[in-house]
Amino acid sequence: MSRTGFVHQALCYGSDDEFLEGTLTFARDGLAAGDTVLAVVASHNITLLDEALGDRSDEVEFVDADDWYGSPSPTLGRYNAYCAAHDTDGTGRPRRVRVIGEPVWSARSAFEVREWMRYESLLNTAFAGTGHWILCPYDTRDLPAAIVRSAVRTHPELALGPRESAYCSRYVDPVDFSAECDTARLPALPAGSEDVPFARGRSAHVRRALSAYARGLGVPEQLTHDMVTAVHEAVVNSMRHGGGQGVLRLRSDSAYVICEISDTGTPTAPPPPQFPGHLPPDPRAASGHGMWVVRQLSDLTTQTLDPAGSVVRLYFRRSAVL
């Protein structure tokens, strides 16, 4: 099946046969066309597809979904980097990357599930200017109905079988879907008293306070470095666009170490971009990288941007600490 432009499809399957029916021809067509084919799926599905491809299975790169789908923004960054590294052939000619990408939905909180749904929607914007093709399987045997229903709102097309698809009439533009996600109530900030005021010229103070807090929790050195880098970048961004002063609140619960940056705002602040930090910046641009870096280093990031005062909250997974 020959297609041009970016294609993003959901494949809702209810059996092993239906999974293979939707993915095997997709992979074979890609190999026949000289495309790069990456399959990031559940381990059981790796076995199914690997065996079905036979002698050509070694031409497909397989990755266990549990090892790839850690957090939404870093996962988008990983796909962006992979496609950039494989989008030309040996002679430098453009080459399509085909991805069978099966997100991991199990053991996620409602907050986490919402951010993964946002991730699925954002793929449509992140890869809009490419010729890549992403097919996202959804196992209807195990997934909650609400997650399966979300697929037709975050994917422009529904894959129906080998080389067959249909337009999703319930598809929602990523701008509107992201705005919808932003209206959901955030989890309450855990109780605590580790509040660190900041102002221009006091960024070193913030770094020291966060490092001490992380040491007290037993955070490993590399994660501490990532936390300090991400929070420092968010604080600098806040001082630049949010009135020059604010408060860093350091909290933790059983799931995350949480760093909340709030500022006093400024009435003259320009309108925020549509997807602040969600999309890969132009590597040639002199600015616009800050919040992308923040999202790549944290597990989850929420932003409430307002001229009267903004709040950015960074979540770092606690399981990496314990």
281: confidence class by pLDDT, cuts 50, 70, 90: confident
pLDDT greater than 70 at residue 1: no
State whether 151 and 259 are in the same domain: no
Q: What is the pLDDT of residues 186-208, one digit of tens each?
A: 889 999 999 999 988 777 889 99
* Those residues with Cβ within 8 angstroms of residue 90's Cβ, 6 or more apart along the chain or in another chain: none
Q: What is the dihedral of CA 311, 153, 120, 241, to 10 degrees?
A: -20
If asked whether residues 164 and 222 sit together in one domain, one would say no
For the ranges 70-79, 81-90, 105-114, 193-202, which has the lowest average pLDDT? Answer: 193-202
- Domain of residue 77, CATH code: 3.40.50.300
User: Are 202 and 93 found together in one domain?
Assistant: no
Report if residue 265 sits inside a domain.
yes
Clarify whether residues 255 and 314 are in a common domain. yes
Q: Which domain holds residue 303?
A: 194-320
pTM of the predicted protein model = 0.93
In a domain, 269, yes or no: yes
Which CATH number covers residue 316?
A: 3.30.565.10
Q: Given pLDDT bands bounded at 50, 70 and 90, which one contains residue 322?
A: very low
pLDDT number for residue 2: 66
Assess whether pLDDT exceeds 50 at residue 97: yes
Q: Has residue 276 been placed in a domain?
A: yes
Residue 259 β-bridge partners: 250, 314
Task: Give, for 144, the enclosing helix (H) or strand (E).
Answer: none
> What are the helix (H) ranges across the chain?
16-33, 43-53, 65-68, 72-86, 110-126, 145-154, 174-182, 203-217, 221-241, 290-297
Helix (H) or strand (E) holding 109: none
- Answer with the one of 161, 182, 203 that is the final residue of a domain: 182
**pLDDT of 41:** 98
Mean pLDDT, residues 91-102 taken together: 95
- b/e for 179-206, b at 16 or more Cβ within 10 A? eeeeeeeeeeeeeeeeebebeeeebeeb
Last residue of a domain, one of 129, 156, 182: 182
The reply to whether 2 falls in a domain is no
Lowest pLDDT segment from 66-70, 91-95, 188-192, 265-269: 265-269
Residues 178 and 82 reside in one and the same domain: yes
Rounded to an integer, the average pLDDT of 94-111 is 97
Domain check: are 159 and 228 in the same one? no
The pLDDT value recorded for residue 75 is 98
Number of domains in the chain: 2
User: Between the CA of residue 97 and those of 89, 131, 158, 267, what are the distances in Å?
Assistant: 11, 8, 19, 44
227 and 279 both lie in a single domain: yes
Q: Are residues 205 and 97 in the same domain?
A: no
pLDDT over threshold 90, residue 39:
yes
Single out the residue of 178, 146, 195, 139 nearest to residue 278, CA to CA: 178
Mean pLDDT of the chain: 93
Cα–Cα distances in Å, from 265 out to 175, 200, 245?
Answer: 24, 14, 9
What pLDDT is attached to residue 49? 98
At residue 239 the predicted structure's pLDDT band, cuts being 50, 70 and 90, is confident
